[in-house]
Amino acid sequence: MKQSLALFAALLYLGASAQNNHVLIPAGDSEADIVKKAANVVPSPRQLRWQELELTAFVHFGMNTFTNKEWGDGKEDTHLFNPDRLDARQWVRVLKAAGFKQVIITAKHHDGFCLWPSAYTEHSVKNSPYHGDVVKAVADACHEYGVGFGVYLSPWDRNNPDYGDSEKYNRYFMNQLTELLTHYGKVDEVWFDGANGEGPNGHKPVYDFNAWYALIRRLQPGAVIAIMGPDVRWVGTESGYGRETEWSVIPADKNALEKIADNSQKDVAFAPIGDKMEKDLGSREKILGAAGLVWYPAEADVSIRPGWFYHADQDAHVKSVDKLMDIYFSSVGRNCTLLMNVPPDTHGLISDSDVSHLQAWAAARRAVFEHNLAAGARVSASNGRHAAATLDDAYDTYYEAGDSTATLTFTLPQPKAFNVLSLQEEISAGQRIEKWALEYKDGGDWKEITSGTTVGYKRLLRFPMVTAREVRLHILSSRTNPTLAAFGLYRGPQN
């Protein structure tokens, strides 16, 4: 009897402390209960891997490259697709050298033209003068160079005659997904665009999202499903800028809640919860009214050029290094993964202008982030343990506070001039910090340098140059005892 009671207690404990990427909030929960639950929602392993990538690349390439359009109508002559020097290894080499960890190819855009020889349509590379398989070329190059591989498959298909007939179109789409998920080795991300329209019969099909997700989970269990999917949320703009306050834990909607309630799944694959464009998605005010919460981190997508596809007349409008840097600080530096689009030209190559801007941007990031000026500092914490782990260069070791507020003081070996702060929470334990401030010691006085709200996977902030030897970080408000995996001070160009 005693033994079974102990076992029961152990199971209860495990049940209570098990962390998932979602949680249900029963009606009777107090504010404190809800806040604590939010603090303990964690990313699924595939979400965590994806967030740690920081930089991912989009490659928009297809029929539009040759018709000089952004959206095709699906009536294009397949003979127009004719890259004469296509080299996907060049794409992946250039992108990898610029710091990108994953590459997503537009296997099919809204025109329905497939970059692989799909058995289910004639609107593809197989009927073009280019007889190869672009998806295979990209997948092989990614696998060769050790870069993640993802596919963009537009649900909206302006070529397919059955678009509008839900049953037929879902069957077609599942067949195409199966080809992409079984012919090209490991797939790390599947990207479903939200844009859509009506089919030839005047109707929009009802997408069978749950069947699509189940297929992806079965065939490529490591792949995150983005945008119209459960793992990765569209940040809400196509500018590459995240919110100043960016929560990865947000209220779940009805479809997600049903999955959460059935509790048979470790991480939910719910129907898309729609575009989230409001400024505040996950504050206390938002979560207090929620019936459930999910880990749903943001992806900030943007193109290096004005268009998503290559247009020769935009060669002079490739984003400048300053602009790319600003995007970096405002996406990766605001708890988002950046998805930067670099579209190859009509030869099938990333053009010189894009290559040189990418190289200069990568060099500019290296120049700022190569040396952590806080390295070698003496660290003390007002409470908690492992404060020195904030400077050990390892993301998975971390400081854990003993309370919901804490102060970490860093005494540098010598005074240093810096104007960039980098903070990282250990998100495998949850996203907890709500408010913080950074101070430096000026003579006998502590003065504020900068302050902020959320941290999440990474928070970067720029401020006017400060020279100091003693710096302290106040964690002023947190959903439960906060963690800090990394603390960095850097010197960038003068602001």
* Binding stretches for ligand FUL (CB under 6 A): 70, 193-195, 301, 308
3-class DSSP state of 179: helix
H or E segment at 286? Answer: helix 284-288
* Nearest residue (CB) to ligand FUL, 109 versus 259: 109
* Nearest residue (CB) to ligand FUL, 111 versus 434: 111
* Nearest residue (CB) to ligand FUL, 194 versus 274: 194
Shortest Å, Cβ 114 to ligand FUL:
15
* Nearest residue (CB) to ligand FUL, 70 versus 470: 70
Q: Is the separation of the CB atoms in 417 and 466 below 8 Å?
A: yes
H-helix segments, 83-208: 88-97, 134-145, 166-182
* Nearest residue (CB) to ligand FUL, 193 versus 315: 193
Shortest Å, Cβ 71 to ligand FUL:
6
Residue with tokens 């929620």: 290
Question: Which DSSP category does 456 fall into?
Answer: T
* Nearest residue (CB) to ligand FUL, 252 versus 300: 300
Shortest Å, Cβ 195 to ligand FUL:
4
Shortest Å, Cβ 308 to ligand FUL:
4
Q: Cα–Cα distance between 410 and 407 in angstroms, integer?
A: 10
Q: Cα–Cα distance between 54 and 18 in angstroms, integer?
A: 27
Q: Cα–Cα distance between 401 and 406 in angstroms, integer?
A: 6
* Nearest residue (CB) to ligand FUL, 97 versus 195: 195
Shortest Å, Cβ 193 to ligand FUL:
5
Q: Is the separation of the CB atoms in 71 and 113 below 8 Å?
A: no
Q: Is the separation of the CB atoms in 161 and 203 below 8 Å?
A: no
Residue nearest to ligand FUL (CB): 195
Give the chain's end-to-end CA distance (angstroms, integer): 69
Pairing of strands 378-381, 406-424: antiparallel
Shortest Å, Cβ 375 to ligand FUL:
39
Shortest Å, Cβ 116 to ligand FUL:
18
Q: Cα–Cα distance between 469 and 418 in angstroms, integer?
A: 11
